[in-house]
Amino acid sequence: MLDGLNPQQRDAVVHEGTPLLIVAGAGSGKTRVLTHRIAYLLSERHVQPQEILAITFTNKAAKEMKERVDRLIGPRSKAMWVMTFHSACVRILRREAKRLGFSSSFSIYDQADSQRLMAMVCRELDLDPKRYPPRSFSAQVSNLKNELVDYDTAKDKAQTHLERTLAEAYRSYQRRLTEADAMDFDDLIMLTVTLFQLFPDVAEHYRRRFRHVMVDEYQDTNHAQYMLIRELVGVPEARTADGEPVREGREGAVEPAELCVVGDADQSIYAFRGATIRNILEFERDYPDARTILLEQNYRSTQTILSAANAVIARNEGRKPKNLWSDQGAGPKIIGYVADNEHDEAMFVAQEVDRLADDEDVTPGQVAVFYRTNAASRVFEEIFIRTGLPYKVVGGVRFYERKEVRDLLAYLRVLANPNDTVSLRRVINVPKRGIGDRAEAMIEAFALRERVSFWEGLRRADEAPGLATRSLNAIKEFVALLEDLRGKELPLSELAEEVLTSTGYRTELETSGDPQDESRLENLNELISVAQEFEEANPEGTLVDFLEQVSLVADADQIPEGEDHQGVVTLMTLHTAKGLEFPVVFLTGLEDGVFPHMRSLGEPRELEEERRLAYVGITRAQQRLYVSRAAVRSSWGSPAFNPASRFLAEVPSDLLDWRSDPQKTAWAAATVREPRRPAAPAKTGGRVIPSLSPGDRVTHDTFGLGTVVAVEGAAEKTRVKIDFGSGDEKTLLVAYAPIEKL
Ligand code: ATP
Ligand code: MG
């Protein structure tokens, strides 16, 4: 268990009793220590698997950690809880939901659902959406929850009219959630904390169970997560968001669990989600008997890469200096490249990946390309497709955000939880069944008056005044349909299939004559395959379990599995790259205004966060690092001449080799500017009209790569709105536009 660890790492693995903080720079083996510590607890200290709770940042990281533990000591990881904060909280809440007035099959609302709900609330409160944008309210409520501020407190603290309005919206929003038997992502954490605080017996149950609590990436925990850990571990004095100690007087109930957290203040990159490095900086103050272990040897990167990272992060103020070193030798210099434009930049990457494959046996699976924002992926995709380089984009427009996928999931959610009003109202007239907006509004008013759920309102539609007979009949049929589906005892995938059939959803798509409906059907079939896979992997799994898994999918969970990442280049944002490592890394878009992000330019604190992001990016690289920028980049449809990123100047110049490739211009001209096919009007060639739906990727002969935002009309009249990058949206007639679906 202790093989392959240095003395400090070993200390950390065997440390017993008091809380343990491991603070160390990137690649120093923090995650490895956690894995070995778990294995050591199980095999040497005879801890039972169910006594272990380890929190990781993604589901994928959790899976990997379990697999590694199994490899170290044999298959014992099953009863262990290795998971994200959200997954752990859902598990706890499902068991205890009744105490908080929820059922154990409560729904989980993602960001889109909760924005929808907030929009309903704002309408109900008659708020002018221009002055009080629901999205902004939704974000602010999320921030409050991350600070564990409930609506009463928000109201008490409110000073301005806006803050009072927000508190009121927060209150109605929360009431609506409870009525819908639903929790949003932030509630999952906050309500678990509330649960522990309101019900000492529940807290004690989990404290008895989890004798070992471990947290990876501790620097990115927010206040609510911090409190959750405090509650779980059972340390009596916790503090509020303002730093005031909260005395709970629960000393002596259960011995505090052993806590071990690992993190790196320099890698804190989620301040915008309420993460606070205060949690790491003040750990020692919060846990006076804590031991701190520093790890200083980096095992991931060459000294060149490490020195660059150290030099960049050293510019941040108020941080503890670190002495990270590597014995892997200097390795090749960092290669810098100034591209003519973003196409040229992507071309350089593609060309270099090819060259590495030829000259150095580097496979595409060993390469990662990072960028600051999701939108930047498009140009890379375009060039990679043209040059035949296999790749996978992680994050961005997601399968689960497509309309038809959300529709089917909404049906399933309504079946699992009839009170899930957001889902119910989403599908009430999908496909069209004659329940119009007016009828819906009448039911809503009736339900409100009778103080029953929207679903109850539908069931009692007979009593609702003023409904037209046609609407009433349609509502009755809808209710009967759902009740019938709910009564069916079918395996998950068959139930999903049955929903599509009995609601007429499938028939509508099949007979619409609208070409984009074909790809909608494909997506629905894909969702049914997901359900089938789930059934196979979880023979005991319920509908609620399935919905839960689907709602907790994160960007990073899409990274191709395995050491070789299935042989494809991985493209992702810097935020998603946290915790990962790749032999070859391309850090792109190093321009002031791109990275660091425009928003951060005049803001010292945000700039420091951008610099930490740069530090994260650089330290993902094991052997080779490339940094690139474009002299011109199209931004909002017009060219932007951004100056070089200040982070480039912060890399010592002797570590950097600026590449200027004499063949570059010729190569780029030959490959980029030559059209793939003549841009003749499409109809002359009797060309097949591509069937498109929102989220699809397309290339356009002139505008390049884009994402379909909306589709309207049918057959030759189909018009698509395509986003060609940073808000550059164009509406085109599919039949005539030189576009190709990817
Ligand atoms: P990050 O801050 O990026 O999350 P980390 O501190 O968690 O990094 P790990 O991912 O655990 O670092 O380790 C980085 C790499 O170094 C991994 O490939 C790991 O297997 C390797 N490594 C760590 N410790 C040792 C060691 N003692 N001997 C050999 N390899 C090691
Ligand atoms: Mg790690």
Question: Could you report the per-residue pLDDT of 369-379, keeping only the tens digit for each?
Answer: 999 998 899 89
- What is residue 101's predicted lDDT score, i.e. its pLDDT? 94
Residues 534 and 579 in one domain: no
CA-to-CA dists, residue 414 to 91, 227, 409, 558, 572, angstroms: 20, 33, 9, 27, 34
Query: Is residue 493 part of an annotated ligand binding site?
Result: no
Q: Does residue 216 carry a catalytic annotation?
A: yes
Atom nearest to 580 CA in ligand 1: 3
What is the spatial distance between Cα 30 and Cα 587, in angstroms, rounded to a whole number?
Answer: 24
Query: Is residue 26 part of an annotated ligand binding site?
Result: yes
Q: Is residue 102 part of a domain?
A: no
Of the residues 60, 620, 633, 646, only one is catalytic, namely 620
Please count the other Cβ atoms lying within 10 Å of the Cβ belonging to residue 667.
15
What's the burial of 698, exposed, middle or buried (CB within 10 Å: 0-12/13-18/19+)? buried
Query: Is residue 31 part of an annotated ligand binding site?
Result: yes
Residues 544 and 417 in one domain: yes
Helical axes 492-502 vs 469-487, angle rounded to 10°: 160
Q: Which residues line ligand 1 (CB under 6 A)?
A: 4-6, 9, 24, 26-32, 264, 267, 299-300, 579, 581, 619
Q: What is the ipTM of this complex?
A: 0.99
What CATH number did the domain enclosing 442 receive?
Answer: 1.10.486.10
Residues 478 and 450 in one domain: yes
For residue 162, what are the contacts with CB-CB under 8 A and spacing of at least 6? 132
How large is the average pLDDT for residues 395-410?
86
**Tokens standing for residue 615:** 């530090």
Residue nearest to atom 31 of ligand 1 (CA): 299
Q: Which residues is 591 bridged to in the sheet?
A: 644
Query: Is residue 28 part of an annotated ligand binding site?
Result: yes
Which of 152, 180, 208 represents a domain boundary (last residue)?
Answer: 180
Residue of 23, 64, 216, 299 to mutate, ligand 1, most atoms within 8 A of C-beta: 299
Q: Does residue 702 carry a catalytic annotation?
A: no
What is the spatial distance between Cα 213 and Cα 493, in angstroms, rounded to a whole number?
Answer: 36
Q: Is residue 115 part of a domain?
A: yes
Of 688 and 455, which is predicted with more confidence?
455
- What is residue 678's predicted lDDT score, i.e. its pLDDT? 35
Q: Is residue 98 part of a domain?
A: no
What's the burial of 125, exposed, middle or buried (CB within 10 Å: 0-12/13-18/19+)? middle
Residues 205 and 281 in one domain: yes
Q: What pTM value is reported for the model?
A: 0.82
Q: Which ligand is nearest to the CA of 306?
A: 1
pLDDT over threshold 90, residue 56: yes
- What is residue 575's predicted lDDT score, i.e. its pLDDT? 93
What is the spatial distance between Cα 343 and Cα 673, in angstroms, rounded to a whole number?
Answer: 10
- What is residue 253's predicted lDDT score, i.e. its pLDDT? 62
Residue nearest to atom 18 of ligand 1 (CA): 300
Which of 271, 295, 319 represents a domain boundary (last residue)?
Answer: 295
Total domains, the chain:
5
Of 448 and 513, which is predicted with more confidence?
448
Query: Is residue 531 part of an annotated ligand binding site?
Result: no
Place of tokens 């928003």: 599
- What is residue 419's predicted lDDT score, i.e. its pLDDT? 94
Q: Does residue 66 carry a catalytic annotation?
A: no
Distance 175 CA to ligand 2 centre (A): 39
Q: Which ligand is nearest to the CA of 580?
A: 1
Distance 31 CA to ligand 2 centre (A): 4
Residue of 32, 35, 580, 613 to mutate, ligand 1, most atoms within 8 A of C-beta: 32
- What is residue 242's predicted lDDT score, i.e. its pLDDT? 65
Q: Is residue 460 part of a domain?
A: yes
Residues 11 and 125 in one domain: no
Residues 635 and 583 in one domain: yes
Residues 72 and 197 in one domain: yes
How large is the average pLDDT for residues 471-490?
95
Place of tokens 């729904």: 107
**Tokens standing for residue 690:** 């591509």
Per the prediction, the chain carries an average pLDDT of 88
Q: Which ligand is nearest to the CA of 264?
A: 1
Q: Is residue 2 part of a domain?
A: no
Confidence of residue 594 (pLDDT cuts 50, 70, 90): very high
Q: Is residue 315 part of a domain?
A: yes
Residue nearest to atom 21 of ligand 1 (CA): 299
pLDDT over threshold 90, residue 693: no
Q: Does residue 221 carry a catalytic annotation?
A: no
Which of 615, 642, 673 represents a domain boundary (last residue)?
Answer: 673
pLDDT 10s digits, 91-105: 999 999 999 999 999
What CATH number did the domain enclosing 155 receive?
Answer: 1.10.10.160
pLDDT over threshold 60, residue 664: no
Of the residues 113, 217, 286, 696, only one is catalytic, namely 217
Q: Is residue 143 part of a domain?
A: yes
Atom nearest to 298 CA in ligand 1: 16
pLDDT 10s digits, 696-733: 888 877 777 888 888 877 766 778 888 877 556 788 87
- What is residue 383's predicted lDDT score, i.e. its pLDDT? 93
- What is residue 450's predicted lDDT score, i.e. its pLDDT? 94
How large is the average pLDDT for residues 53-78?
90
**Cβ 559 vs Cβ 60: under 8 Å:** yes
Percent of the chain whose predicted confidence (pLDDT) is above 90:
67
Distance 217 CA to ligand 2 centre (A): 7
Residues 308 and 249 in one domain: no
Of 248 and 693, which is predicted with more confidence?
693
**Cβ 121 vs Cβ 166: under 8 Å:** no
Residues 445 and 531 in one domain: yes
What is the spatial distance between Cα 363 and Cα 356, in angstroms, rounded to a whole number?
Answer: 8
What CATH number did the domain enclosing 629 receive?
Answer: 3.40.50.300
- What is residue 621's predicted lDDT score, i.e. its pLDDT? 98
Percent of the chain whose predicted confidence (pLDDT) is above 70:
92
Closest CA to 430 of 406, 453, 447: 406
Atom nearest to 26 CA in ligand 1: 2
Residues 411 and 311 in one domain: no
Confidence of residue 288 (pLDDT cuts 50, 70, 90): confident
Residues 510 and 652 in one domain: no
What is the spatial distance between Cα 558 and Cα 59, in angstroms, rounded to a whole number?
Answer: 10
Atom nearest to 28 CA in ligand 1: 6
pLDDT over threshold 90, residue 197: yes
Distance 31 CA to ligand 1 centre (A): 7
Confidence of residue 738 (pLDDT cuts 50, 70, 90): confident
CA-to-CA dists, residue 551 to 84, 170, 399, 423, 544, angstroms: 13, 23, 12, 13, 11
- What is residue 486's predicted lDDT score, i.e. its pLDDT? 94
Q: Is residue 357 part of a domain?
A: yes
Closest CA to 494 of 534, 458, 523: 534
Distance 164 CA to ligand 1 centre (A): 48
The whole domain housing 160 covers 107-180
pLDDT over threshold 80, residue 662: no
How large is the average pLDDT for residues 137-144?
96
Distance 578 CA to ligand 2 centre (A): 8
- What is residue 742's predicted lDDT score, i.e. its pLDDT? 77
Q: Which ligand is nearest to the CA of 616?
A: 1
pLDDT 10s digits, 602-657: 899 999 999 999 999 999 999 999 999 999 998 777 788 999 999 999 999 999 99
**Cβ 146 vs Cβ 224: under 8 Å:** yes
Distance 76 CA to ligand 1 centre (A): 23
- What is residue 359's predicted lDDT score, i.e. its pLDDT? 94
Residues 534 and 407 in one domain: yes
Helical axes 7-14 vs 30-43, angle rounded to 10°: 50
